[in-house]
Chains A and B, each alone.
Chain A
Amino acid sequence: MRHIPRAIRRLFCLIVSLGVLAGCGVAGLPGDSGRETVGQPTLPALTLPGDDWGYPSPFAFYARGPGYVRMSLLFDTLTWKDAEGLIPWLADDWTTSEDGTVWTFKLHPDVTWHDGNRLTAKDVAFTYTYFKAQRSLVTWSWPLDRIDTAEAVDEETVRITLTEPVAGAHDVLFGSLPILPQHIWEGIDDPLKALGEEVVIGSGPFTLAEYSKEEERYVYMAHPGYFKGGPRVSSLVFIKVENEALALKSGTTDYAAFSGKAIEAAKQFADDPEFEIIEGPGYWVLQLIFNTSRPPFDDVVLRRAVAHAIDRRRIVTQVTLDGAVVAELGVLSPETDWHHPDLPTYDHNPDEARRLLSQATEAAKLLPLTLIATAEYAREAELIQADLAEIGFPITVQVGDTGTLDGLLREGNFDVAINGHGGLANPAILESPTWPAMVYQNEVYRLIYEAQAQLSDDDARRPLVWQLQEMIASDLPVLTLWHPKMWTVYRSAKLDTWFYTPEGVGFGIPLAMNKLSFID
């Protein structure tokens, strides 16, 4: 060693020191919460796969379905949904004024927060007032601007007044807005940056024992005093895994969710008695978005020609391996009550496509046109390119990352794009069929949308929602491609109460991750 130059020895020492220092750092430091967990040996502990979806406070979770689900394990809402549909939750009962603007809820007695304080009507009134005041920081789709006032009538009765009726209010507001403990939140001015242990104190069936942002891990412990029943599991641990199927097979996790193209991964569990599989609706769509705000796709005849040229069935078979169904042209999932059953289908018909193309505006000859997509949907883009070439309408394909695609769509700087999104269980998604691009402008469509959004009577609302779907199918601002199927595979010996919630958890989240699965 003494023959090796001192400089080299120092470099080596530096490398080793870096490693050792980092090692001591990571080994000696507690997790983010710093709290130890206490197990309940009589009940199974579940380990589930997952990523970081933000700190699960009602303001800090990432505005995505899994983020909401993690928050919903800690916080309750006035109503909720079981396998059949709407059920009372924190509210035992409620009444609505004739015009649908005044809602009076009778709360379940003796509900307590995780810290032992009692949940009262004052907390509910505070929650609605607080959310309304902080709505500029809220990125989840609660219609907070429709809240007028919220007041506690007595300890267990709260009256919430809306500025105007909200369609599906049970779902989009009362069934999804988490109730906050007033004694904790009333002193918080910036709820987005409140990331302490106190802001995850809720009334839900679990308490948060550990959260690690960098390791993308959550540890929830069952809350034994939960007012809706005892826990079926002692703890829920969400961990980051690279391959959900591998993690489930190896016993690392007890649950895995697959959708669409991942059908083969789900199939491998089909004959294994250790696992059960349930299939559910995806409430998600992959679609071709036309830039209707500029030539040549401002011409509906051209859009219809493209619709007839593309063999959507072939895409479903060859790309998703039948892990999806050909999408409904009205966007809404065929598995919701809102779906219009008799929409045009624009079957694959190259001759008809050519005929329509010949009638299309001269602008259709503007070349080159570009189809943009992310790498995930490059195969769909290739098949569409081939179908369009067959009718004499060549396009080029450009693949970019999701940020680039998102930026181009929002700027309206594209010809045609492939993009997917969820939320198909709720007609609210119809507000902008070309989301996230805001390129479809149709005044009649907008008026119908706004009219249905104020109807709290579902039967009165349905014809308008159908009309919106008819307009999308006829006008084709988007050509929907496929709706994925979803599968949840679980180790039944650990827990066998998983189910898909009709029209999604919260509103429209297509995961079999309803907190009801975890309580008796």
Chain B
Amino acid sequence: MSYRIAQYLFIIIVLLTLNFFLPRMMPGDPISYLVGDPGADAPLLMTEEMRQNLLRYYELDRPLGEQFQRYLSNLLRGELGWSISQNAPVAQVILGRLRWSLLLGGCAAAIYVPLGIVLGAVAAWHSTTPAGPAILGSVFFLGSWPSYFLGMLFIVFLSLKLGLFPIGGATSTLSARSGVLWSLVDVIHHGALPCATLVLGNLPGIVLLVHNSTMGLLGHDFVRAAKAKGLRQRRVLIKHVLPNAMLPLVTMIAMRLGFLVAGSVTVEVVFAYPGMGALITTAGIARDYPLLQGIFLIIMLLIVGFNLLADLLYTRLDPRVRATL
């Protein structure tokens, strides 16, 4: 295990280095964006003096090596720097968005993961009856709509026609909500449609995986033995089949959770939801190096963290894996 952790640490160091240098290799720079991007409605001419002043202010005039050293030492102190395009501390900008992405992605995952497991297992168990294909067909029909289109459908029918939900945003204005309980209701009200869109988009993958994994196990001797012992069908499925079907699922869930903050861009755009997706786009266009570094750091830690977690879970789930670590 210590070897595996050392491996992850090495990956983190490599990624941190790439995080720093890759954005700086792209054409454009954050200072130019400050005074107007292509298409700006009020383009501003920047003199060389003005440019040098701003480079100095944001400490971008130093040699690249010195900037990298400063970045690493700041990182060790827990400082992510100042976002040039957002004019705010990077940590504040990211946390402001991250909480919404975690809320949306976390709630959606809390629904589609167990639901997908149940539906996939039931569909596999009843594969010889009409119920199995019916479950698979329904899930794929709903999940085959592109997220953007599904979101628009929700908005048109549930928000505009029926007026049940707001068309976008994450909360009402401060004046329209008071108290923690009402705020919570307000958050749920705003998050329901984007969450439902994410659930429908992610459900088929889980269902299919569990279904296929379960189907592959149903003919095995240990399942036949469990059935021969006279165990009830549900008990066979839950106690003997599902635990063995979980291995590929753990990998899939770990990967999806890793992309929790960056994987909902389309849904966030449709519902004008203040998540990380739109921020990544903005930071990229603005070539906002400190912000890009901060965002990629968070994504990297999440992906590496969840992959490590999956590795640890594997050792619990499968003794054969434990033996190789």
Contact = CB atoms under 8 A, between A and B. Distances in A.
Interface of A: 3-8, 11-12, 14-16, 18-28, 30-31, 33, 35-39, 52, 54-55, 60, 62-65, 68, 136-137, 139-141, 192-193, 195, 209-210, 212-217, 219, 235, 237, 239-242, 246-247, 249-250, 252, 283-284, 374, 376, 401-411, 413, 419-423, 429, 431-432, 435-436, 506, 508-510
Contacts of A284: 41
Q: State the main secondary structure of chain B at its contact with A.
A: helix
B103 A22 contact: yes
Given A63-B34, A421-B41, 10 more contacts: A19-B110, A140-B44, A210-B175, A215-B171, A241-B168, A284-B41, A403-B284, A405-B38, A421-B39, A436-B38
Interface stretch (B1-9, B73-81, B82-90, B214-222): B82-90
B107 interface: yes
B184 A27 contact: yes
Contact of B27 (A8, A136, A404): A404
Contacts of A423: 40-43
Given A5-B316, A37-B173, A508-B42, A213 B96 contact: yes
Contacts of A249: 160
| Most chain A beta-carbon neighbours within 10 Å: one of B40, B85, B180, B235 | B40
Given A210-B174, A401-B284, A407-B32, A242 B272 contact: yes
A136 B57 contact: yes
Sort chain B's interface into a size bin: 35 or more
A21 B97 CA distance: 14
Contacts of A24: 184
Contact of A63 (B28, B36, B171, B186): B36
A464 B209 CA distance: 72
Contacts of A54: 86-87
Contact of A213 (B57, B93, B246): B93
B317 A421 contact: no
B68 interface: no
A101 to B, nearest CB: 22
Q: Which 8 A-B pairs have the closest CB atoms?
A: A407-B28, A407-B27, A19-B106, A422-B41, A22-B103, A136-B53, A37-B175, A214-B96
Contacts of A407: 26-29, 32, 287
Contacts of B164: none
Interface string B304-318: 000001000100110
Interface in B22-57: 26-29, 32-46, 50, 53-54, 57
Contacts of B175: 36-39, 209-210, 219, 235
B174 A36 contact: yes
A25 B269 CA distance: 22
Contacts of A11: 250, 253, 309, 313
A435 B96 contact: no
Interface stretch (B137-145, B199-207, B237-245, B293-301): B237-245
Contact of B106 (A16, A35, A435): A16
A212 B239 CA distance: 49
